[in-house]
Amino acid sequence: MISAKSIHRRLIVRLLAAWLAISLLIGGIVFFMKMRDVDEFVKNLTFNETRALLDDKKDYINSTNPKDLDTLKKMMAEHIMKGHFVLVELYDKSKNRIVDFDAKGSEDVENYIEKHKETHILSYKARYNRFYFEKNIYIQIFLPLYDKESNLIGHFEGVYRVDAKTTKDITRSIILSLLQVVAAMLAITIILYPIILSMDKDLIKLSRDLSEANVGMLETLGSAVAKRDSDTNAHNYRVTLYAVELAEAMGLDAGEIMSLIKGSFLHDIGKIAISDNILLKPGKLTEEEFSVMKTHVGHGYDIISKYNWLKDAGDVVKYHHEKYEGTGYLSKLKGGEIPLNARIFAIVDVFDALTSKRPYKEPFGYEKSMQIIEEGRGTHFDPQIVETFKKIAKKLYDTTSTGEEAFLEDTLHKFVKKYF
């Protein structure tokens, strides 16, 4: 049975995993979009500053007067001291470098650029690179310069450092956006939890109701035949209890034991098709009568195989009268050909028939019953299973064979709860 606690745990683990995955996904998208904004923002900063830097200096670039060049250098140097550029280079139209200034204290970033970035790209198109170095955002810009008539008059190359405060603002805004994503997703997860939980509980209740209905039908069908045969359910309860105990002692898994419970309960359902004068005959059956009696396994299989939920009871219903040496009925299977559940059940079925009263016989005691089982070892029964059965038989006999129907029913319901 699925417990409420395990539903909670399973649901929480799944929701947390979903929350993490969605936070990562949406966080990634948000980060990507924010970085595009950052790019646009710092690019504009850089281009505006470049325009301010160059506006009043274009006329000097291609001047042949050395005084003009000096003036140009002085003006650029002044600007650099105040502004954000850490590095500027100016080329005339013949691509001669006429100005080359580094801001003080910018050696580290220059070395970094030398090693990792392209420099001196003198093309006809403006270009820029953004990079991040030692907690600062830098923009490297390559700009061709034109006069009013759109003639190329030179090139500018510069490295712009976004100031510490702006960088901090940008970083903070990115982190804030990511936190918002994570928090929003967490809020959704928390809201979803009770909704999913209640749906899950409904589903589990539904499946429990269905399972109860199936088990109820199992018991109803089983008692229908018991009523004709012996007018109590005790035989069905006992063989089922014996079968589960034996299967557990053999270490079968829960799925196999569930099938075994169904099969045990319904093993003789085919006796519904056997007439009273044979079924309830107080004495020994004639050969002819017994051959009719043998058909109960086939009838039983016909009855249960129509319902999917009962199909796995088929092994026990159809093969519980096979014998290990191949002389049983109806298929005359041998040894391991007989399904394991049927080999298990055959032992407990005979044990119960022996230790109980039948219309045709009085109950045998424990010793005599075990002696008959022992005689069938390797001929009627799987010898290995007999070995295991011998270890638990006395306990079963003492607790179960003389138990009241109500006690048996209670014990059985415990098993049903455990395996269905």
Q: Which residues bind ligand SIN (CB under 6 A)?
A: 130, 132, 137, 170-171, 174, 360-361
> 187-193: long-range contacts (C-beta < 8 A, 24 or more apart)?
189/15, 189/16, 189/18, 189/19, 192/15, 193/11, 193/12, 193/15
Q: What angle (nearest 5°) sits at the alpha carbon of residue 268, between those of residues 402 and 394?
A: 30
**Nearest to ligand SIN of 340, 372 (CB atom):** 372
CA–CA separation, 349 and 338 (whole Å): 15
With CB cut-offs between 5 and 8 Å by kind, which of Fe ion, ligand SIN, ligand C2E, none does residue 359 bind? ligand C2E
**Nearest to ligand SIN of 170, 344 (CB atom):** 170
Window 302-321: residues binding ligand C2E (CB under 6 A): 321
CA–CA separation, 281 and 290 (whole Å): 11
Q: Which residues of 156-175 are buried (b: 16+ CB within 10 A; e: fewer)?
A: bbbbbbbeeebbeebeeebe
**Nearest to ligand C2E of 212, 405 (CB atom):** 405
CB of 287 to ligand C2E, least distance (A): 11
**Nearest to ligand SIN of 79, 161 (CB atom):** 161
Q: Segment near ligand C2E (CB under 6 A), from 130-138, 173-181, 349-357, 395-403?
A: 349-357
CA–CA separation, 258 and 1 (whole Å): 12
Is residue 273 a contact point for ligand C2E (CB under 6 A)?
Answer: no
Among 36, 95, 205, 361, binds ligand C2E (CB under 6 A): 361
SS3 label, residue 190: helix
How far is the CA of 243 from the CAs of 73, 262, 345, in angstroms?
A: 102, 11, 6
Is residue 342 a contact point for ligand C2E (CB under 6 A)?
Answer: no
Window 241-280: residues binding Fe ion (CB under 5 A): 268
With CB cut-offs between 5 and 8 Å by kind, which of Fe ion, ligand C2E, ligand SIN, none does residue 132 bind? ligand SIN
SS3 label, residue 80: helix
Among 73, 93, 117, 281, binds ligand C2E (CB under 6 A): 281
Q: What is the DSSP letter of 358?
A: B
Is residue 353 a contact point for ligand C2E (CB under 6 A)?
Answer: yes
Both tokens of residue 183? 């928090």
Q: DSSP string spanning 386-413?
A: HHHHHHHHHHHIIIIIT--HHHHHHHHH
**Nearest to ligand C2E of 42, 344 (CB atom):** 344
With CB cut-offs between 5 and 8 Å by kind, which of Fe ion, ligand SIN, ligand C2E, none does residue 137 bind? ligand SIN
Signed CA dihedral, 79, 85, 87, 89: sign only? negative
CA–CA separation, 330 and 301 (whole Å): 11
Is residue 285 a contact point for ligand C2E (CB under 6 A)?
Answer: yes
CB of 153 to ligand SIN, least distance (A): 32
CB of 294 to ligand SIN, least distance (A): 10
Q: Segment near ligand C2E (CB under 6 A), from 12-20, 62-70, 308-316, 347-355?
A: 347-355
CB of 283 to ligand C2E, least distance (A): 6
Q: Report the run of H or E that residue 102 belongs to, with start and end.
A: strand 97-102
> 69-72: long-range contacts (C-beta < 8 A, 24 or more apart)?
69/98, 72/98, 72/99
Is residue 157 a contact point for Fe ion (CB under 5 A)?
Answer: no
**Nearest to ligand SIN of 170, 258 (CB atom):** 170
> 117-123: long-range contacts (C-beta < 8 A, 24 or more apart)?
119/157, 120/89, 120/157, 121/157, 122/91, 122/95, 122/155, 122/157
With CB cut-offs between 5 and 8 Å by kind, which of Fe ion, ligand C2E, ligand SIN, none does residue 354 bind? ligand C2E
CA–CA separation, 153 and 173 (whole Å): 40
CB of 304 to ligand C2E, least distance (A): 18
**Nearest to ligand C2E of 6, 371 (CB atom):** 371
CB of 356 to ligand SIN, least distance (A): 12
- Partners of 88 in beta bridges: 101, 158
Could you list the residues that contact ligand C2E (CB under 6 A)?
Answer: 281, 284-285, 293, 321, 349-350, 353-354, 358-361, 372
**Interface residues toward Fe ion, by CB under 5 A:** 268
